A and B are shown apart, each in its own frame.
Chain A
Amino acid sequence: MKNQTPDQTGDLTEAMRLALLRADPALSRFDPLPRILSFDNFARGHCGWSQLVGNYEDDLDTMLPGYAQHTSAMLSTLAHWDAGSHGGMDSSYALKIATRPVAGARNVAIKRHTFRKRGPIRFEIYFTFKPEANTLKLSETDVRSVGLLFDLQGGDQDGNNDRVMPHLRFLNALDGQHLQKWQYKRETERITPIGTDNKTISHYHLSPEGWVDLPGGSQRLCYNEIPTKVNWTYLCFDFDLATMTALGLRCNDRSFDLSGFDSIRIPAMKNLWCMLNFGLFAETDVAKRAFLYVDSICISGDF
């Protein structure tokens, strides 16, 4: 065998990696970076997606109202009254994040990791959203938005440090207007001390205020023709933990320029070093439950 240069060895390694990925029916529809942190297929359970619970001390009444509304995500076959179970892409199950039936209500599921190295992270999901099908109407403006967030903080030896929280949402509708555009957020609500021990604070980073349109971020997604027909949509968000900047956003056939994107940035907190959290959320625009369904998630990194 001839000696190979490092470049040739690297090319061969990458070609083999891609060949293995593309031959794997579970991973072939993803474009993961070299290391897969987690691959969530909800026929295997909740895969670590839990309820985002608010902070409190002594009494649950100290929890901010935005968090108090959250409930646990569930495993769903997307069972509909008129057509039965819709199912996922290659199993019966999807993760379902459901709001309460109150206009403006929101629910968030979260997965909590830490990172080993500050480098690129890729978050890929197949998702869809619908309102509760309790009227015989198209209901295309009932879901306000679905979105994702990361909650990040550097290592304890990294020097000057922020807690960085990139937020993205697909604003489907607002006050009945069908807007269909991607937005991001740079501001959270004021930080509120919780309790009396000076150990816990809280801030509601998903408040309705402060969302900004992503330039060029209009996109018409496949909604289908009645509220019980759903189609799975691909989303990929790239973020660099080294520079704490967003690198890219792709949704189906569209790729968006994130040069104007920024994250919520607040001072580092004393208990959150190397934090690598991922959140998914749904918001309803009307007094009807909104459902975000997620078929599968692949989180990968280059480290």
Chain B
Amino acid sequence: MLPENITAVVSRNERWRGEAASEPYEAGWAREAIFFVRALKQPVGPIATAWVEVSPDGMHWLREGTEFPMPKERDAVAMARLAHFGNWLRVAARFDSGAECTVLVTLHLKA
């Protein structure tokens, strides 16, 4: 049987400002993951830094260590590759006051 893989849309057309994060996603069956973050609209203000978070329970979150700049313009795509993450995954970002980005966050998992 072919190894399982899935594309999950975890945030679609969400306007991220201030403290933002994608909804928790369980991916314990997967050996590898990539988050893609696409700006659906022209970002406003300084470009924020995003990072990947892991969790023991889907409720308590800590940084996995991977960071990346949010996309700089409309339709630009940022990504983070992961190979060791346990079960729970999400992307988080912090925006300066007045800054924002409308995002499409997809998670690509492979067994």
Q: A60–B38 Cα gap in the complex (Å)?
A: 13
B23 touches A (CB below 8 Å): yes
Q: Beta-carbon contacts of A41-64 to B below 8 Å, as 1s and 0s?
A: 000111000010100000011010
Instruction: Report yes or no: B25 in contact with A74, Cβ–Cβ below 8 A.
Output: yes
Instruction: Report yes or no: A60 in contact with B12, Cβ–Cβ below 8 A.
Output: yes
Chain B, 36-89, CB within 8 A of any chain A CB? 40, 56-59, 87
Instruction: Report yes or no: B59 in contact with A74, Cβ–Cβ below 8 A.
Output: no
A203 touches B (CB below 8 Å): no
Instruction: Report yes or no: A81 in contact with B56, Cβ–Cβ below 8 A.
Output: yes
For residue A71, which residues in chain B have a CB less than 8 angstroms away from its CB?
A: 8-12, 23
B4 touches A (CB below 8 Å): yes
For residue A133, which residues in chain B have a CB less than 8 angstroms away from its CB?
A: 59
Q: A81–B1 Cα gap in the complex (Å)?
A: 32
Q: Beta-carbon contacts of B2-29 to A below 8 Å, as 1s and 0s?
A: 0010101111110000000001111111
A63: contacting residue among B9, B10, B13, B59, CB under 8 A: B13
Instruction: Report yes or no: A74 in contact with B27, Cβ–Cβ below 8 A.
Output: yes
Interface magnitude class on chain B: 20 to 34
Q: Which of A93-101, A138-146, A208-216, A278-286 contacts B (4 or more CB under 8 A)?
A: A93-101
Interface magnitude class on chain A: 20 to 34
For residue A63, which residues in chain B have a CB less than 8 angstroms away from its CB?
A: 13
Q: A96–B23 Cα gap in the complex (Å)?
A: 13
For residue A134, which residues in chain B have a CB less than 8 angstroms away from its CB?
A: 59
Instruction: Report yes or no: A45 in contact with B26, Cβ–Cβ below 8 A.
Output: no
For residue B6, which residues in chain A have a CB less than 8 angstroms away from its CB?
A: 45-46, 72, 75
For residue B87, which residues in chain A have a CB less than 8 angstroms away from its CB?
A: 77, 79
Q: A134–B24 Cα gap in the complex (Å)?
A: 14
Taking the nearest CB of chain B, how far is it from the CB of A64, in angstroms?
Answer: 12
Known: A74-B25, A98-B23. A80 touches B57 (CB 8 A): yes
Q: List 29 A-B contacts (CB under 8 A).
A: A44-B4, A45-B4, A51-B9, A60-B12, A61-B13, A63-B13, A68-B12, A71-B9, A71-B10, A71-B11, A71-B12, A71-B23, A72-B6, A72-B9, A72-B25, A74-B25, A75-B26, A76-B26, A77-B28, A77-B87, A79-B28, A79-B58, A93-B29, A96-B26, A98-B23, A98-B24, A100-B23, A133-B59, A134-B59
Q: Interface of A with B (CB < 8 Å)?
A: 44-46, 51, 53, 60-61, 63, 68, 71-72, 74-77, 79-81, 93, 96, 98, 100, 132-134
